[in-house]
Each structure stands twice: as C-alpha cells, then as structure tokens.
Structure 1
Amino acid sequence: MARLVTLLLLPLSWLYAGIMGVRNWLYDAGLLTAARFPVPLISVGNLRVGGTGKTPHVAWVVRQLLQLEAEPAILSRGYGRRTRGYRLVQPTDTAITVGDEPLQHFQDFSGTVPVAVSEDRRVGLLHLLTNQQPSVIVLDDAYQHRRVQPALSILLTEHQRPFYTDEVLPAGRLRENRAGASRADVVVVTKCPEQLPPSEQQAMQQQIGRYTRAGVPVLFSGYSYGAPVAVGQQPTPASAEVILLTGIAQPEPLRTYLTSAGYQVAHHAVFADHHAFTPAEIKAVCAQLRPGQSIFTTQKDAMRLAQPALRQVLAGVPVFYIPIEVRFLADGASRLRAFLVSSFQPQAVV
C-alpha cells in the first residue's frame, strides 16, 4: 500500500523537484545572487526533512571552533517558534519565542555563544555582525537557503535513510532533488552503529559519490549517550523502568540505546517532530507512570517541556533527558576539523 501511495504521489514530486531545480539553476548560473559576508559562514544541513541529527552536529562544530579560539555564533530559522523577525536568544526565552533547537544551543553553551533566530538569514547575519561581532557564524539548517554563500557546507544524511534511497516531497522526504548534494563540501553519514563494516562504508561512499563533486569526503558519525539529566527535583531515576516521551523525527536510536543500557521502556509516547505538547497530553503520559518509574525524554523535548503550564503538570514527577554527543568513526573528527580550519578565509560583502 505504501508503495502504491508513493507511485501516485510521484508526479507531484517531479513538479516540486522541477521548481527547486529551476531555483538552484538560477543561483548556479548567477542570475540570482548569494550574498557573501566578511566572516566565514559554516552551513550544517540536509536534503531530507528532519531526523538527520543537525542539532548535535552544530554543537560539535561550535565546540571545535571554540577550541580553535574562534568566536562563533549560531544562526537558526527558529522552527516552531511563535515569533517573527530577528531575535537574539536571551535567558528569559522559551521554545515558544525562539524554538526548541536554538534554546538548546543557548543552554548547551551557557549563554557564552550568541544564538539568534531569523527567517531571513541575510537580516540575521547583518544583526549578528553588527551587534555581536563573531569571527565565524554557524548556520543551522541552511542547506537550501541559497541567498547566502557559505564558506563550508556540511551535508548530513542518516545511515538508515540515506538521501540516495529517497524521493522528493510529497512521495518521499527530500526537500530537493538528490543532485543538491553537489553543493556539499563534506558529507556526514549520521547515526551510524559503532562498528560499521568498512565494506558498508565503501558502498555508501560510492552511492553518495554519484551525486557529489569529485573528491568530496564522506565521513561517518554516531552518538554517545550520557547519563540521565534531571529536569525536575529527583537527582537520579529510582529504577530502570521508564516511560519514554519523544517529539523528534527519529526516536528509534534513543529507544535502542535505552534497551541496550538495561532500561525497560514500559510505554513510549510518540509525538511528531517539534510537537507543541499540551497539558492534557502530558497528563496522559504521567497517568502511565507506575511507582518507581521515571519519564525519559530528549534534550530537545525538554526545552518544550519547560513551558510554565507543562512544568505545573510535571511538578513532583521524575523527568530526565538523555544527553547525546557526536562521535566520529575512524579519523572523521580530525578530517572535519581540518575543513573548519581551512574555512577561516574572510570574504568580501557583495
């Protein structure tokens, strides 16, 4: 049935892909202009809608930049926020005012790295450069935003759902044709198992290489999961029995990790990516709790659970998020770090 639906939607996908293709051609031909800025712009994005791990990879890039003694800032669209225009994230902001991912970045770096949101990236960049004066700006989820020209473009694709097996919306989940991978300077295959056979890596490199420019490296990354971090008052989970609450595109890797780590997931409350939880929904999740059980969630979901109305529902409930960090296979970290170093070439404003 799913295959039949895909076939029926393919004509709409071809139409959408054609529109995006014309747009990309106009930029490639110089008929539409991509603005350049006087500091390096590093774009982290994907071809597929959601679930490739942009947030932890942006955080990894920023940490590397800080180690290189750069002064980075992060610019995001602020998906899911209920505000408009440019906004510099402040301690009083919430997921409603800036979006869950920018809020997570702000908290991850304890406010020491400027994080801003703007649906118009040119406007956002000008504000950041004028008022914050960073030495490099990381663009979160800007791969299709052709109005600005990055110094380094990092394309992410998920190990279990690589872009070369997918179709353009609405038949698939791609935002543009697979040929869009030709703009990437580096491709990172994300959410890989720790032991990914070299033969499989080589096969994926060959498939990806059909769409990228010659010589573009393909790196492989996975996740390292940390100990549960308390959202409420209880310092540690009382037992290994948990209720899992997720509103992300791909929750399966987290559930797989929890099982392998010895936790028993008694119930999994699954919501759509960036879902705006309601008090009634959280009350329903809490109703599933049995004595000794805790609610586990993701750090991104925890940003949305911090709304006052939801905090009231969760008062006294043991809630924890599982932090994640990116780990690269083989020499992937050093290779990507070398690209970051080489991107520090100031560009003239156009």
Structure 2
Amino acid sequence: MKLLRFLLFPFAVLYDVITRVRNWFFTIGILKSTSFEIPVIAVGNLSVGGTGKSPQIEYLIRLLNDKYRMAVLSRGYKRKTEGFQLVNDTHTAEDVGDEPLQFYKKFKKVITVAVDADRTNGIQQLLQQNNPPEVVLLDDAYQHRKVTASSYILLTKYNDLFVDDFVLPTGNLRESRRGAKRATMIVVTKCPENLSKAEQEKIVRKLNPKSYQKVFFTTIAYDESLKGTNELTIDDLQDKEALLITGIANPTPLLNFLKEKKVSFKHLNFPDHHNFTQQDILKIEKAFNELPSEQKIMLTTEKDYMRLEGKVNPLNYISIKSHFISEEKAFNSLVLNEIKKVN
C-alpha cells in the first residue's frame, strides 16, 4: 500500500494543484460563495476518515440548543434520495444518511435536521421554514466553499495530524494543509485521556496555528449504558459473548475499549457508512448463531444502528461523546462569541 501511494505521487501533485486553484477562485470571487445573516458553523476536517465529527456536532447541539433555535444540515452521505429533505420520523438511513438520522432521533425535540448536497440551497430552504433556525451547524462541510460559514471548526486526529499528512492519493488529505488557515478553532480529537500539558503544547507548536486560531484537545468517552433492544450496561457484557458489527472508518478505539472492559467478542468489520444488504444480514445472523455461548448479544455503534435497526434482532448499540481534556469553558465561550459577532 505504501509503495502504491508513492507511485501515485504525481497524481497527488495534480490533485493538490486543482484544489488550490479551486480555493483561490473562491477566495478572489471567480467562484461564488454565499454568506448568510445568521451564524453558520462549519464542522469538518482536511482528511478523509473518522475524526469524530458526529460527537463534535452533538457537543455543539448540547451547548447551544437551549440558547438558540438550531438546525443541522448535512449532505446525507450515501443516501438514496436527492435534493433537500427535512428529516422526519418516516425516514430511514437509506433516505437521509446514518449520521443525520442519528442527530434527528437523538435531538428531534430541540433541533431541525436536514440534508442537501447543495448546502447553499439547504440553508435557504431552512430559512423559509415556519420556525427558521437562528444558528445552522454544517456537518462535514469544511471543503464546501459555496457557503461562507461565519466560523469553521477543524478537526484533526491526535495520532494522524493533518500536518503529518499529504493530499490524496498519496496521503489522506482532501486539500492542502494550507486549508487549515480557514479555521477559527482547531480541535485535536481522540486524544488519550491523560494527555499532558507538555504534550499538548508540543502538538500546538507542531500545528503552528495562526494568531486568530485556538487549539483544543478532546477525547472520546463511551457510554457505559447500552441502548437498543435490551437495557444493559457494559459490565453486563462480562458474562456474555458479543458479536460486534461495525461499519465505521476506524473501529480500533472501540475494540480497545471493549478489551479493557473484559468483553469477549467476535468482530465483523464492514466499510465506513456501509449499506447492509440481505447477504450481509445473513452473514451477521450466521456469525451470531455460531457463537458458542448461550449468553450472547449483537452489539454495534450508534451510527451503524441507524442502518441495522429492524434488520437484525436483538441488537444493542454503544454511543460516544466528545469530552474536552482542558479549556472546555474557553471553547464554549469562543463558540458563543463567534455567534454573537454575527447576531
């Protein structure tokens, strides 16, 4: 794989040139970018793969929902519908995508969730609703330059910082590292819980933020309570055998967590955002039936549960939250101040 990526280096250079020219065209106005009179916060990354966007979006929802009418707008990755859709109770993950459905099911009483590949049209449609949002969160929209967000939150993984990477296909970056300059805040995600101040300062120096940027550090915390078919806790799994089903970019942190909790499991790994076919379901059921223990359970992630619910049973999922290692209040204040600047 490393040799292949090295051989593809000329294509990476070409890709870099194309994305730089595209960004420059937006900067000088040759390509149109639309601004809005309400705060629009774009959350995203420079790299492909899981940097923890969903937990960060959910953190912002919890921070802001009692202060503002809010909407989350996503493109609805891998959905089978087109155009603008307001997520509702009838929708499935195939209709709107797994992450938007997750946001809706979790927060439908306090926010609006919509999908549209054209974020400009999506925001315009949201503003035409009877009770329009006062703040819009754009999910995975860091490269969506057709909208000029009022602030940008750039996520980068602790063990895969964007400054150590290169553009596709040699590396995993969607655009050059120079794209980081658009960020208002840079959040280093999936850090060890005990990350020291000295290590944080070392990473900040490596990221070399601009004077207007602030760097924060978060970690992922798994919920001890399982949701789904049965009401269980992680500790309840210690006397059971689990079939773990994942279709996420990087399941390793979850695998490590279950091992730390002394959970015995067999892992079925599918690609990120995988749409489970009938053949996949038969494979899952066969693997579950072959587990030797009489005390067994099917376990998945919250995002995968959106695509598996109703297809296999019984099924439980484990959810995650983003926790700041330090300076949580500073992050909250910065987000709120960014909103007030627009209002």
TM-score, normalised via structure 1 length: 0.91
Q: 1: CA distance between counterparts of 2:88 and 2:32?
A: 33
Q: 1: CA distance between counterparts of 2:217 and 2:342?
A: 30
Contact 1:43-1:139 within 8 A present in 2 as well: yes
Contact 1:44-1:154 within 8 A present in 2 as well: yes
Q: Which letter does structure 1 place at the counterpart of 2:221? A: S
Alignment of 1:242-253 (within 5 A): 242-253=242-253
**What's the secondary structure of 1:287's corresponding residue?**
helix
Deviations 1:124-153 (A, max 9, x none): 000101104111000001100111111110
Contact 2:65-2:110 within 8 A present in 1 as well: no
Corresponding position of 1:101 = 99
Deviations 1:164-215 (A, max 9, x none): 1222111121100111111111000001110012232122111211xx4224
1:296: how far off?
Answer: 1.3
Q: Which among 123, 126, 129 is matched to residue 121 of structure 2?
A: 123
Distance 1:81 1:226, change over 3 A: same
Contact 1:39-1:345 within 8 A present in 2 as well: no
Alignment of 1:17-56 (within 5 A): 17-56=16-55
Q: 2: CA distance between counterparts of 1:199 and 1:256?
A: 25
1:345: how far off?
Answer: 4.1
How many residues are matched? 334
Contact 2:127-2:133 within 8 A present in 1 as well: yes
TM-score, normalised via structure 2 length: 0.93
**What's the secondary structure of 1:75's corresponding residue?**
strand
**What's the secondary structure of 2:287's corresponding residue?**
coil
Question: Percent same amino acid at aligned positions?
Answer: 39
Q: 1: CA distance between counterparts of 2:241 and 2:195?
A: 30
Q: 1: CA distance between counterparts of 2:287 and 2:92?
A: 27
Question: Which is worse superposed, 320-329 or 107-116?
Answer: 107-116
Corresponding position of 2:259 = 259
Q: 1: CA distance between counterparts of 2:166 and 2:298?
A: 36
List runs of 5+ in structure 1 lacking aligned partners.
none
Alignment of 1:1-350 (within 5 A): 2-67=1-66, 69-131=67-129, 132-209=131-208, 212-232=209-229, 234-236=230-232, 239-265=239-265, 267-289=266-288, 290=291, 291-306=294-309, 308=310, 310=311, 314-315=312-313, 317=314, 319-331=315-327, 333-345=328-340
Q: Which letter does structure 2 place at the counterpart of 1:163? A: F
Q: Which letter does structure 2 place at the counterpart of 1:339? A: L
Q: Which letter does structure 2 place at the counterpart of 1:127? A: Q
Query: RMSD across aligned C-alpha pairs, in angstroms?
Result: 1.6
Q: Which letter does structure 2 place at the counterpart of 1:253? A: P
Q: 2: CA distance between counterparts of 1:55 and 1:98?
A: 15
List runs of 5+ in structure 2 lacking aligned partners.
none
Contact 1:65-1:340 within 8 A present in 2 as well: no
Contact 2:65-2:111 within 8 A present in 1 as well: no
Contact 2:37-2:342 within 8 A present in 1 as well: yes
Q: 2: CA distance between counterparts of 1:29 and 1:213?
A: 21
**What's the secondary structure of 2:111's corresponding residue?**
coil
